[in-house]
Structure 1
C-alpha cells in the first residue's frame, strides 16, 4: 500500500517589529514567559515588558504600549480617559485566574484566619464586622510567647491593583491601616515576611518563596479554604480574581498583527499551560473561547 503523503504544517507568518507591555507586577512572570515563547516563534519581533503596577496600564491609553496587563478591572476614570482619546473603551481579555493569599513567617503556628480577623489586622475601618482591632498574635488565638507579640503588617503600594483588590475583597471596601508597610510587589512582601517572625502580608497565589507559610481562609460559614484550581473555579475561595490583558481594539476592526499573534499564543493550549506552570489557574475552555472571540481569533 502506498504511504499517504504527510500534510506539511502551516507556515508561521513572518512578523517583524516591537511589542510593548506596560502594567501589572503580578503578571510580570507570566508576561515574561509568554514573551519568551513568542520570541522563539517570531524571532524578528522584540517584546518589551515593563512591570510598574496596574496603574501604569494607562500607557495603553497614551499609545505607548500595545498590551496593558492588569490584576484588576480598569477603573471608570481610566476607561473614561481612554474613551476620550479614542471614542471607545479598551478591550479587557481575561488570560488567567489568580487569588490573593495571606502569608506569615514559617515559624508562625497559625494555620488559618477569618476574613473578619484579616480586616481587623489591616483595616482602620473594620467594615467586615470585627468589633476591635487586632494588634497582637494572641488576639487571633496564639498562646505562650506569641500571645503578646505585636503584628508587623506588609502589603503592596498604591500603584498596584493588588492593594485595591485586597481593600475591596479582604477589607470589605475599608481603608488600610497607616501602620501597613507598603512595598512594590510580591518579592518585596515575601522577603519582608520571611525576615520577621511576627510579620503578616498578602500576595498573589502565583508567587512562592522560602521562609513564608500560606494561611487558609475561614469563610463566613466557617469553612476553611485554600487557594487552588478547585476552589477558584467553584467560586469558593473569597479572594479569587481574573488577570487581564487590555488592548486597543476599535469596534468592528481587527487588532494589529503583532498584538493579535501574541494573544493567539496566550490563549493557546501552550500559553495556558504556562499559566499552570507559573502557579496560576488557566482559563476554562469556555472562558478561553469567549476571550478568543472577543479578540477576533478563530
Structure 2
C-alpha cells in the first residue's frame, strides 16, 4: 500500500477534531427551486437519495435525478453539463481534471462530504481472523506488486482448519467504473492487475449479497454496505496486527483502507454557485446532513474540515 497516501490521510484527519459536525444548523432559504441532477458513485447512491429526500422536506418543489452508475461517470457528466453534482468515492484523476479544465478554463471544485472505508467481507460461517495487505494482494492480484510471495487460492493457505482444506476462495468485487474498484486496485493491489476470476458486480450491495450466499466467498465493497449476513474482516498492514473496520478506527485513519467520499461541482472562480446547488451542499454539510451520513453507516466529516469545504463554495462561516 502506498505509504504516502496513508500518511496524508492520517495527518489530515489528525488535524481536525472528530466528534462534532458543523455548529451551524441548516436554515431554509428563499427562492430555492429547480432540479438537482446527480451522476456518479454507487457507494454514495443510497446516501444521495437520503440527502435528497430530507432536502425536499425543506423544499418540496425541488426535483432530483440520481444516477448511481459509478465514480468514473461523474467527471464527464459534470464537464459536459449533464449533471450539476458528481458524487465520487475516489479522487479525480489528472486526465479528468484536464478534460474539465480544457472545456471550462478552470478546475472543478471537489468537496469532502463523508468518510468511508473499503471492507473485506466473508460469510458468517467463515472463521478467518483477518487478512494483511500482502495476503489480500496474493488473493486478488495476478501481478502481486504489493509483495505477496505466492498466489492464494484456497482457504487452508490462510490457516483455516481441515474442513476448509480444499475450499477455493470465491472472489467478488466491483466493476471498473467504480471508485471502490480504483481505490482497491491502488491501495490493496499496488496498481496491480486483478485476477480474471474476480466476479465483478455493478454495486457494493451486490457484492455483499453475493458473499452472503456463496460458500467460501470473499469480496470487497464499501463498509457502509455491511449487512447482518456477512462479517467485515479486520485488516493489518503487515503480519497479524489486525485493525477492525470500526467507526472509530475508520475515523482516525488507523484502518488501512479508509478514504474520503467526495462531491464534485462546477464552480467558476469568483462566481457563486447557483442557489440550488449551494443550498444542497450547505444542507449536506449541516448537522442534519451529516447525521444522515452516520445513519447510512459512514463517518461524518470533522467540524473544522466542514468549514473548509463551505469556504470552497464561498459560504461565509463566522
- TM-score after normalising by structure 2: 0.88
> 2:132·2:239 contact (CA, 8 Å) conserved in 1?
no
Partner of 1:95: 113
Secondary structure (helix, strand or coil) at the match of 2:95 reads helix
Secondary structure (helix, strand or coil) at the match of 1:85 reads helix
Q: What does the per-residue CA deviation read over 1:261-293, in whole Å, with 9 as the maximum and x for residues that have no partner?
A: 100100101111111111000001111111111
Partner of 2:6: none
Secondary structure (helix, strand or coil) at the match of 2:99 reads helix
Question: 2:143 pairs with 116, 125, 144, which one?
Answer: 125
Q: What does the per-residue CA deviation read over 1:15-67, in whole Å, with 9 as the maximum and x for residues that have no partner?
A: 22111000000000110011011111011111111100001102000101110
Q: Which runs of 5+ in 2 are unaligned?
A: 1-25
* 1:9-28 aligned within 5 A: 12-28=29-45
* 1:97-246 aligned within 5 A: 97-220=115-238, 222-246=240-264
Displacement of 1:113: 0.9
> 2:233·2:245 contact (CA, 8 Å) conserved in 1?
no
Question: 1:50 pairs with 43, 48, 67, which one?
Answer: 67
Say what the alpha-carbon RMSD is for the aligned residues: 1.4
Secondary structure (helix, strand or coil) at the match of 2:233 reads strand
Distance 1:221 1:146 in 2: 22
Distance 1:232 1:105 in 2: 22
Q: What does the per-residue CA deviation read over 1:124-180, in whole Å, with 9 as the maximum and x for residues that have no partner?
A: 111121111001000111011102111110000011111010010111221111111
Partner of 1:286: 304
Secondary structure (helix, strand or coil) at the match of 1:206 reads helix
Distance 2:62 2:257 in 1: 36
Displacement of 1:11: 6.2
Secondary structure (helix, strand or coil) at the match of 1:225 reads coil
Partner of 2:19: none
Distance 1:296 1:203, change over 3 A: same
Highest relative contact order (Cα 8 Å, sep 6+), 1 or 2? 2
Partner of 1:38: 55
> 1:96·1:280 contact (CA, 8 Å) conserved in 2?
yes
Distance 2:212 2:229 in 1: 5
Distance 1:175 1:59 in 2: 27
Matched residue count:
290
Shifted more, 90-99 versus 204-213: the winner is: 204-213
Partner of 2:100: 82
